[in-house]
Amino acid sequence: MSIGVYFVTPDGCDDALVRAALAGGAGMIQLRDKAATDAEMVAQARRLLPLCRAAAVPLIVNDRLEVALASGADGLHIGQGDGDPAQMRAALGPGRHLGLSIETAAQLDAMPAGAVDLIGVGPVHATATKPDHAAPLGLDGAARLIARSPVPAVAIGGVSTADIPALKRAGCAGIAVVSAIAAAPDPAAATRVLVETWRTA
Ligand code: TZP
Ligand code: MG
């Protein structure tokens, strides 16, 4: 699996930001919004799905199984506190993607076989985007988890272009970012730089 640049939305994300990430070549989009209601997330996912489909890019919903199912999104991404991956896998049904956040080797060892398509390994660095994040792994710690993973992995948490060569060498399927795109003055251009850096690393 090659994803390249996986854009994870900030809370209250404007659709235009997702359009920009798609225009810049993002390979996967995750709709993550800790503040929105389920109904708002379903509505936004339904608006974004045709854009993602036109770009042949999967749209994944963070945390909320019901939103993923009601919107017809391509999958779900859950954290360690969001339920049993095997149950989520069964509830999602065949053909939908399931992602899981992994912060430690113990969590990776506890991951049920066959349930998860992709892990998000992190945080690589401390980040203000997720105030309750676990201890940062650093590039070496992230690389060790990526090497041990039975499924493809993306690295997340304060990731920037400077991290890309080491993460690609570690065997990542891609990098997952919020701020590197969302906080950039030109999000489409920032995505393009990340994609190109990934491609040539
Ligand atoms: N999970 C671990 S770190 C993180 C998430 C959702 C936030 C990543 O955001 P940023 O701005 O790319 O550091
Ligand atoms: Mg979660």
- The interface predicted TM-score (ipTM) is 0.99
- Domains of the chain plus CATH, in order, are 4-200 (3.20.20.70)
- Which range among 92-96, 99-103, 153-157 shows the weakest confidence by mean pLDDT? 92-96
Residue keyed to tokens 């996912």: 45
- Mean of the per-residue pLDDT values of the chain: 97
pLDDT value for 22:
98
State how beta strands 153-156 and 174-177 pair.
parallel
pLDDT value for 94:
87
Q: What percent of the chain has pLDDT over 90?
A: 98
Q: How long a stretch of residues is the chain?
A: 201
Distance 78 CA to ligand 2 centre (A): 5
User: Does the annotation place 42 within a ligand binding site?
Assistant: no
Residue 109 phi/psi, 5-degree rounding, is -65, -30
Q: What is the pLDDT of residues 142-196, one digit of tens each?
A: 999 999 999 999 999 999 999 999 999 999 999 999 999 999 999 999 999 999 9
Pocket of ligand 1 (CB under 6 A): 8, 122-123, 127, 129-130, 133, 156-159, 177-180
pLDDT value for 174:
98
Structure tokens at 121: 């390994």
Q: Angle at which helices 187-200 and 15-24 pack, to 10 degrees?
A: 30
Residue keyed to tokens 């590039």: 139
List the residue whose alpha carbon is closest to atom 4 of ligand 1.
Answer: 157
Q: Give the mean pLDDT of 118-141.
A: 96
Regarding pTM above 0.90, the answer is yes
pLDDT value for 32:
98
User: Does the annotation place 82 within a ligand binding site?
Assistant: yes
**pLDDT confidence bin for 108, thresholds 50/70/90:** very high
> What's 171's DSSP letter?
T
Q: What is the pLDDT of residues 56-70, one digit of tens each?
A: 999 999 999 999 999
Q: Which ligand is nearest to the CA of 158?
A: 1
**pLDDT confidence bin for 1, thresholds 50/70/90:** confident
Q: Give the mean pLDDT of 64-77.
A: 98
